[in-house]
Structure 1
Amino acid sequence: MARTPADLRRWRRYLAAERAEASVYRELALRRQGQEREILLALADAEGRHEQHWVDLLGDDVGKPLPVDLRTRMLVWLARTFGSVFVLALVQRAEARSPYEDDADATDAMAADERIHGEVVRGLAIRGRLRISGTFRAAVFGANDGLVSNLALVLGIGATGVPTATVLFTGLAGLLAGALSMGAGEYVSVRSQRELIDAAKPDPSARAVLPDLDVDANELALVYRARGMSEQDAAAHAADVLATLHLDADPAVADEEEELDHVGTAWGAAISSFCFFASGALIPVLPYLFGGEGVVAVVVASVLVGLALLLTGTVVGLLSGASPLKRALRQLAIGFGAAAVTYLLGLAFGATLG
């Protein structure tokens, strides 16, 4: 087969990428236990098979290992340093961008592997997302609400022409009131959700009567039918439970307990929401705290909030597996849109009062 210099460069690039991706999976596996560790090591082995494909094609032209691209090097560093769900989300996007489907030198099996790897990583990332979903949701919503609401408040009041001190104290009052409101709201919301889920869980004391059930009548099957199983599945599952007398192994119970864990704690959500709202709401007030006035303070506050909105949008995009840039720009547009409306209203009221 004719081997052009361009082919060799491309194959070496693929080889370097496969080696780096395998390294990412191995670094992540070091921070995992049990099944997740085994899955990550299996993915690393699969990347090793792809690596061997390019080694075989290159033969004597393998040469020295090429440096991988900046994105992959960053993934390796993040995996080695943090090993977090953020890395899994980035790896998921990287697997989805595999060039093998359009490359004749890659096998169909390799292209299929990369697509399936993306789904495997998606499943692992979902586990991590669920673990942090309750507190993370409160933190992101709190920070965004603090940024947007207090920027809108400060700009709206400032546009009326009131003294700078009034704008400053209004912003601080908005910070405190909003943080307390967000914290209390999250506490009530999560506590109520946990109570509703807890009320739907099976009564543990009901397990004690299992040995006394009438096997012929098998009323335990009604329990599983009430949980949504079909009549045939409920009867079969109830028979299995009665045969083992071990309701602890009931997957329905395990699913409900896992769902409760993913909600998070009421105090965790409340504290997270309070702190992140306050930190977000402080940013638009900073120029006024340091003596800024008029248009200069407005511009500085808007720039600082814009950068913070881009950051929170990027984080949400990474964790959700979506485009970080699109999420960041969406956050920015929503925040600046709300601030612009209140600023224009402040100008209108200021002109009216004047």
Structure 2
Amino acid sequence: MSFRLLLLFLSLGLLPSISLSASASLIWPTPNQAFQAGKPIEAFVQPTSSGRVESGLFGCVRNGGAKFHEGLDLFPVKRSSRGEALDPVYSILPGKVVHISRTAGYSSYGRYIVVVHNGESPSFHSLYAHMASINSSLKVGSRVEAGTELGIMGRSAAGYSIPRSRSHLHLELGFRLSDQFQTWFDRQRFGSKNRHGNWNGMNLVSVDPLDFYRSMRQGEVSTFREYLRRLPVAARVRVHSAKVPNFVQDYPALVTRPYAGRRVVAWDIAFTEFGVPKEWTPRFAEEKLGGRAGEVRVLTYNPQVLEAQSCRRVIRISGRVPTIAPGTVTILKKLFGFK
């Protein structure tokens, strides 16, 4: 989509935007203007079969709070005579297409497309799932603008069925954990093929899309980086490893101090409540930390954040002793290549 055409859409009120930086504006991913109008979530969030609107939000919102939902589900405002969704889905920011899965049966996401917004610091991706179709002109490597039509909202999925009445866009915002995801995948012996490379959903961690949009709209933050900084730290973990993970190389803006030319012996990592490693501090040999290679320990944790969670905690507390939760162990294996 050309910049002139985007301005035309904006002038018509079809793609309301929120200023993200001097160079880009954040676009709502569907034509529904309820969020921009300040309406309640019932006006744009698609619930599950439970009928609870909260079940379409991000977080511990399903199965009585026991099941985590990685994204935000948005319902359509336009349907065909057969009840199928007709809403176009837009890229929320300028970026580059890094993955397209046009075969619904290859993922629980159904048909999905991933765009990396590498004009931001740190860069991050947006993922658009359950699409009825994906724009045939797009391919991996295509550049898109804020407001570029990525495809049509739908209800595609693998392994389960989404009825017409619950057609929706599933939106995720986040980071890729590793560039060597296949190595971890092969060790699990799932018995199925990884058809999505490093953009497999198991290699992604996410933040709350609606909370990000709200923070932007209310002027609490003006960049994605500012938003990350505002997220509470659930725990800080020290990993004794001289390795510089792909994650650090891919997202250098999350590193707190220079490490080039220094002998790194460990990393202190700040995790958000749902496991996003949002801050990395390299620790150096001259600091004489002690500890052996591969050792992982909890440095600090926030009991208020952990107590408020009903699922997917970063650490577990047994008595007063904090231990790394299994999900966090899995994240660390992907980040550092641990077996």
TM-score of the two chains, using structure 1 as the length reference? 0.23
Bigger Rg over Cα: 1
Which one has more relative contact order, counting CA pairs under 8 Å at least 6 apart? 1
- Quick check: which one's strand share is greater? 2
> Larger helix proportion, structure 1 or 2?
1
